DNA sequence: CCCGAATCTCTGAGAACCCTCAGAACCCGT
DNA sequence: ACGGGTTCTGAGGGTTCTCAGAGATTCGGG
């Protein structure tokens, strides 16, 4: 059928993710998006809550804000790891607080995303984490997306159209990834904006048009177009028929 | 007899929808139409009322105007979600309300419609929301409508007649969707106008004739016609008799 | 067969929508 | 601090869509 979005355990049970952040708006949206991706989600607003929930929820992954109202995120991590050493962690950090503290952490196979982030970016990181932890169906195989003559290697960040390598900027890459994860489905500019751009982006949907036009130049130039405009609605990525 | 319209829970109980808007005219019409679609409906005129009703009505979906007389629509949403996190929301926003667009709305699985809207559009969005939330019988399968040799993929916005793709403008698409949801049933021009065009449309029924003629050119051209005129009454869409 | 009413189709104007260009702002590494 | 690359804003211009008006056509009753 469609794309296998929800990674799951070998036995088919859904992967469990715990989201910890003190902004309810953020945990709410994240929780819904992750659930939509096929994962089982719980949320917590602080360290104590997180530890409590983790005790019997036994998450496979934790999305953890480093700055929490009560306990330091790193201490929370220690607690979580004590209970289940296997758990993988995706940290959320403020842009300017990255440096030293996180540097050591990522060595352990965990990862981090700086706020403000785009949902696509967070999802991609989380998928990667779980995949490397062996929780994906297709195991540790490289993340390869293919739609018609288009293919994207998420790990290598390499995109090819009909075998030719295409160079993309970060935003172009994110946009294309979102399109490729939703082939044949019309996506509105608002949907795209909400997923590909950071949640604090105030701009207009006009940027989406602009980036679609960039993508077309790089991907559809001189070939059968794969990105189609659906007037008044949005855009679709479709493999060329035949 | 199969009821294709009202999505329902696994146990067959009807889906519950709460409509919140301060214009009684609008909630009345919406309430009637939604009930007719097989849903169980309650209406509220303001945020306080909505929260009160939601407490024991436990809606599966809420149609929520962002501009309410008492409480901000988003605050209402927070309250509703606190009580039942699963509820899906279809926001109503004014077209000219410049960028009161809230980031993340479409990302979390919710959706919005701008006023003035057509009833068909609102219904389609609401159906999509519930479908994706897993409340449809046929679960998350793509929305596929089929009448004879005609088929419509609502997600891809693609229509085919006898296998050939047909390009439609937004209005043509909406009109055809309405016809396809009511096959073999004669629909009057007024009915069509009320459903497919925005509720504030001042024009005459003549546009319906015009758009039916457009549709015929694209769908019936050179084939056994499926759109039939019932003189003095309206139009019917019928699959070619075997 | 004839006539009136209903319907169909053509046309054009205005609006909405989308694409692209050019340049400003920003970030980054050197 | 400089320079290249990236992101974003604004405006211009072209295309498509919607809809009203008018004339052509069809239908059905007498």
Kindly report which amino acid residue has its CA closest to the C1' atom of nucleotide D26.
B231
pLDDT confidence tier of residue A4, bands split at 50, 70 and 90: very low
Chain B neighbors of A201, CB-CB under 8 A: 103
Chain A neighbors of B153, CB-CB under 8 A: 184
Q: What is the pLDDT of residue A86?
A: 86
Residue A5 has pLDDT above 60, yes or no: no
Q: What is the pLDDT of residue B1?
A: 39
The residues of the protein lying within 7 Å (CB) of strand D read A 169-172, 197, 201-204, 206-207, 210, 231-232; B 169-172, 197, 201-204, 206-207, 210, 231
Q: Environment class of residue A3 by beta-carbon count within 10 Å: exposed (0-12), middle (13-18) or buried (19+)?
A: exposed
Contact A195 B107 (CB under 8 A): yes
Q: What is the pLDDT of residue A118?
A: 96
Residue A11 has pLDDT above 70, yes or no: no
Contact B108 A28 (CB under 8 A): yes
For an interface test with B, give the residue of A186, A208, A235 to mutate (most B CBs within 10 A): A186
Percent of chain B whose pLDDT exceeds 90: 77
Structure token digits, residue A84: 């289940």
* Nucleotide D21 C1' to residue B206 CA (A): 11
Q: Is the CB of B200 under 7 A from strand C?
A: no
Contact B155 A230 (CB under 8 A): no
pLDDT tens column, A113-143:
999 999 999 999 999 999 888 755 544 566 8
Q: What is the pLDDT of residue A210?
A: 98
Q: What is the pLDDT of residue B70?
A: 93
Q: What is the pLDDT of residue A202?
A: 87
CB-hemisphere CA count at 13 Å for B115? 16
Span B150-159, average pLDDT: 97
**B24-36 and B119-132 are packed helices; what angle lies between their axes, rounded to 10 degrees?**
60
pLDDT tens column, B6-31:
567 766 678 999 999 999 999 999 99
pLDDT confidence tier of residue B204, bands split at 50, 70 and 90: confident
Q: Is the CB of B215 under 7 A from strand C?
A: no
Least confident among A194-203, B7-16, B217-226 = B7-16
Q: What is the pLDDT of residue A2?
A: 38
Q: What is the pLDDT of residue A94?
A: 81
Q: Distance (Å, rounded) from C-alpha B146 to C-alpha B8? A: 21
Q: What is the pLDDT of residue A108?
A: 67
For residue B209, which of B222, B193, B225, B194 has the smallest C-alpha distance? B193
Least confident among A116-130, B60-74, B89-103 = B89-103
Q: Distance (Å, rounded) from C-alpha B223 to C-alpha A115? A: 57
Residue B123 has pLDDT above 50, yes or no: yes
pLDDT tens column, A28-70:
999 999 998 889 999 999 999 999 999 999 999 999 998 899 9
Residue B69 has pLDDT above 80, yes or no: yes
Q: What is the pLDDT of residue B181?
A: 97
Q: Distance (Å, rounded) from C-alpha A186 to C-alpha A175? A: 14
Q: What is the pLDDT of residue B202?
A: 87
Contact A184 B132 (CB under 8 A): no
pLDDT tens column, A155-189:
999 999 999 999 999 999 999 999 999 999 999 99
Structure-token match 């060595």, residue found: A107
Minimal C-alpha gap between B107 and chain A (Å): 6
Span B52-69, average pLDDT: 95
Q: What is the pLDDT of residue A8?
A: 67
Buried b (16+ CB within 10 A) or exposed e, B104-134: bbbbbbbbbbebebbbbbbbbbbbbbbbbbe
Question: Between the CA of residue B221 and those of B149, B161, B217, B242, what are the distances in Å?
Answer: 13, 10, 5, 19
pLDDT confidence tier of residue B137, bands split at 50, 70 and 90: very low
For residue B219, which of B155, B169, B154 has the smallest C-alpha distance? B169
Under DSSP, the state recorded for B60 is: S
Minimal C-alpha gap between B182 and chain A (Å): 24
In B 28-87, which Cβ lie closer than 7 Å to strand C? none
Q: Distance (Å, rounded) from C-alpha B69 to C-alpha A213? A: 42
Q: Find, in chain A, the residue whose alpha carbon is nearest to that of B165.
A: A241
Contact B155 A186 (CB under 8 A): yes
Minimal Cβ distance to B109: which of A36, A201, A232: A36
């Amino acid at each position: 059928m469609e794309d296998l979005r929800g990674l799951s355990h070998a036995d088919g049970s859904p992967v469990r993710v715990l989201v910890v952040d003190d902004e309810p708006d953020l945990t709410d949206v994240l929780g819904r998006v992750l659930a939509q991706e096929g994962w089982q989600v719980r949320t917590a607003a602080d360290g104590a809550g997180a530890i409590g929930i983790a005790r019997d929820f036994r998450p496979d992954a934790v999305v953890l804000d480093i700055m929490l109202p009560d306990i330091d995120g790193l201490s929370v991590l220690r607690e979580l790891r004590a209970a289940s050493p296997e758990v993988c962690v995706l940290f959320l950090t403020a842009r300017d607080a990255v440096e030293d503290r996180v540097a050591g952490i990522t060595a352990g196979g965990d990862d981090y995303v700086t706020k403000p982030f785009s949902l696509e970016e967070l999802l991609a990181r989380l998928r990667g984490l779980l995949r490397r932890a062996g929780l994906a169906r297709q195991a540790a195989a490289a993340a390869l997306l293919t739609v018609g003559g288009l293919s994207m290697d998420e790990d290598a960040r390499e995109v090819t159209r009909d075998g030719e390598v295409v160079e993309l900027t970060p935003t172009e890459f994110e946009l294309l990834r979102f399109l490729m994860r939703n082939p044949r489905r019309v996506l509105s500019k608002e949907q795209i904006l909400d997923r590909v751009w950071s949640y604090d982006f105030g701009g207009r949907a006009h940027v989406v048009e602009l980036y679609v036009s960039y993508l077309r130049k790089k991907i559809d130039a001189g070939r059968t177009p794969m990105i189609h405009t659906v007037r008044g609605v949005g855009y679709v990525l479709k493999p060329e028929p035949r």
